[in-house]
Amino acid sequence: MTKAIQIKHIKIGEGIPKICVPLTSSTREALVQEGKAAKEAGAELVEWRADFYEEVTKVEKTVETLEELSRVLGELPLLFTLRTEQEGGKFSEDETTYETINLAVAKSKKADLIDIEALSDRETKKELIRKLSREGVKVISSYHDFEKTEDREGILRIYESLKESGGDILKVAVKPKEFEDVTRFMQATKEVTNRTEKPLIGISMGNTGSITRIAGENFGSSITFATVGAASAPGQFRLRELRMMIHSLHEKNKE
């Protein structure tokens, strides 16, 4: 049974999936405007996809931008993500730089959550997650596969490996080739919710998997992602329409 995690005013892993809006601009000025737009649109939390930021390798600049975003967002929880090229992002620097930036963000106390790609160089990432946790930040242990969806046993192994990494929330995003991949992924994710107290995020990407962005309440996914501006991953809905669909399904679930 899932044990909810309190992040500022929201509980992740309880009730309707929380809607997170990614910020993907390359400059501080544009990011601030994106953040304001996400807040005004009713986002429940915001993800800064810092791999899009043009000065991300300048640690001091990155922390300053994070501080500005935190000020603009106020009580909105802020997730910091440095998505690597290997998992569908823009960040191409080495593991040392990846760790340095994430640790600086944690030490700044301005991010509520940090996403760590936990299954590449596993022991290094496990130690990094321990360091981040000591700074008081919650960690999303994540894995992204833009090529395929594993069989049931493979999906369960991925979730188990993420759990072993020490993160507070476990995120798996996969690419379906057919709808049967989507249903298998949802069923496996639902199975994992009965095995762990950690909140899960399960996403089947693209149009084929769009149901997973709506029906998280039904199969155990606690956060979903929507756009106000540009999409950060295939298959994302706009915030307003996603909120409407999630709440409509929630009401149907109560009947």
For the beta carbon of residue 105, count every other beta carbon within 10 angstroms.
24
All residues at 6 or more sequence positions from 225 whose CB lies less than 8 Å from its CB, including other chains: 19, 20, 21, 22, 47, 203, 213, 232, 233, 236
Instruction: Give the C-alpha separation, 180 to 106, whole Å.
Output: 39
Q: Residue 114, exposed/middle/buried by CB under 10 A (0-12, 13-18, 19+)?
A: buried
Annotated catalytic residue 144: yes
Instruction: Give the C-alpha separation, 137 to 144, whole Å.
Output: 22
138, 144, 163, 198: the active-site residue: 144
Instruction: Give the C-alpha separation, 247 to 171, whole Å.
Output: 22
18, 171, 175, 198: the active-site residue: 171
Q: Which of 214, 217, 216, 218 is nearest to 226 (CA)?
A: 214
Instruction: Give the C-alpha separation, 8 to 16, whole Å.
Output: 17
Q: Which of 149, 172, 161 is nearest to 223 (CA)?
A: 172
Residues annotated as catalytic are: 144, 171
